[in-house]
Amino acid sequence: MIQLEDVWRIFRVGEGEVHALKGVTVTIERGEHVALVGPSGSGKSTLLHIVGCLDRPTRGRYVLEGREVGSLSEEERSLLRRHRIGFVFQFFHLLPRLTAQGNVELPMLFAGTPPEERRERAATALEAVGLSHRATHRPDQLSGGERQRVAIARAVVMDPAMLLADEPTGNLDRASAGEVMELIERMNARGLTLVVVTHDPAIAERAKRVIRMDDGELVRGST
C-alpha cells in the first residue's frame, strides 16, 4: 500500500543543506501497525510527513495505493489527505473556537458534506471514541486525553485508509496515553493502516513492526 523507493529529502538551510532522509526504501502493507522510532532529528517525522502527502521527496519514488504521489498536483494531494489519510498530532491541533463536534466536522466542511450528514457522522465518530457527552464542549473544557480522542475522531471521520500519528501520547499522562493507544489500535484492528511515530519504548513495543531510524536512514535489520 505504501511504497517508498530510495527517498531523499534535502532541506536548504541558509548556504548549506540538511539531508533529513537519505535514500529510504520501505514498504508498508494494508492494515499493518508500524511504529517509527529513533532519536530526535533522525528523520522519522519527515518520513511521516512524506507518507502523509504533506511533504514531497526531493528525490525518489513514493507510491501510495498504486499512485505515484510525486507526480500529483497540490490539489490532488489535498484530496488524498482528505479522503485517504487521517492525522493525529502531539499537540492535538483542535481549533479552540469550535466545539468537539465542530472540530470533528471540520474535514467534512471542506469536503462539502451536507450539514445534516455532517452532524450525524461526527456524532457517530465521537461515540466511537466515547465522548458523546462532551460533544458541545470546547477544547479548553476538555482534558488532554479527551482532546486527543476528539482529534482521533476527527482523523477517522472521513473513513481514511491510514492513520498517521506523530507522538500521539507525547503530551499525555500514562493513563490517558493508554486509553488513546487502545483507541488507535482498535481502529487498526478494523483494518486501518497505522503508522505511529514515537520515542516511547512502551508505545513502540505495542506495534507489530518497529522501524528504527537514525540520521536519515533506516537502521539495518530493524525492518
Partner 1 sequence: MRFWDLLAFAAGALRGHKLRTALSVAGVAAGISAVVTLTALGEGARRYVVDQFAALGSNLLVVLPGKVETTGGSPPFGGVTHDLTIDDYRAIAKLDRVRRSAPMAVATDTVHFRDRGRAVPVLGTTADFAAVRRLAIGSGEFLPPGDPDQGGNEIVLGVTVAQELFRNENPLGQVVRVGPWRFRVVGVLAPRGRSLTFNMDDVVLIPVRTAMRVFNRPSLFRILVDVRMRDEMRLTRRDVEKLMAERHRVEDVTVITQDALLSAFSSILNALTLALVGIASVSLAVAGVGIMNVMLVSVTERRAEIGLLKALGAQDRQVLAAFLAEAVLLAIGGGVAGLALGAGAIRAFVGIYPSFPASPPLWAVAAALGLSLAVGVGFGVWPARRATRLDPVAALAKR
19 near partner 1 (CB under 8 A): no
Cα separation of 182 and 190, whole Å? 13
Among 82, 54, 84, CA closest to 67:
84
Query: From the list 59, 83, 133, 208, which residue makes contact with partner 1 (rule: CB under 8 A)?
Result: 83
Any contact of residue 106 with partner 1 (CB under 8 A)?
yes
> For partner 1, which residue of 54, 63, 72, 219 counts as binding (CB under 8 A)?
54
Binding segment for partner 1 (CB under 8 A), chosen from 36-44, 105-113, 202-210, 213-221, is: 105-113
End-to-end CA distance of the chain: 16
The binding track of 137-156 with respect to partner 1, each residue x by CB under 8 A or -, is -----------------x--
Q: Which region, judged by CB under 8 A, interacts with partner 1, from 95-103, 122-130, 136-144, 189-197?
A: 95-103
List 2, 33, 38, 49, residue binding partner 1 (CB under 8 A):
49
Residue 14, by phi and psi: left (phi above 0), alpha (psi -120 to 50) or beta? left
- Compute the least distance from the CB of residue 216 to partner 1, in Å: 16
| 136 lines the binding site for partner 1 (CB under 8 A) | no
Cβ contacts of residue 100 below 8 Å, gap of 6+? 94, 126, 131, 134, 135, 136, 137, 138, 139, 142, 146, 150, 153
Contact 193, 161 (CB under 8 A): yes
Tell whether the torsion through CA atoms of 113, 115, 116 and 121 is positive or negative. Answer: positive
Q: Is residue 174 close enough to count as binding partner 1 by CB under 8 A?
A: no
- Using CB under 8 A, list all residues that contact partner 1: 49, 52, 54-55, 74-75, 78-83, 85, 87, 89, 91, 93, 95-98, 106-107, 109-112, 114-115, 154, 158
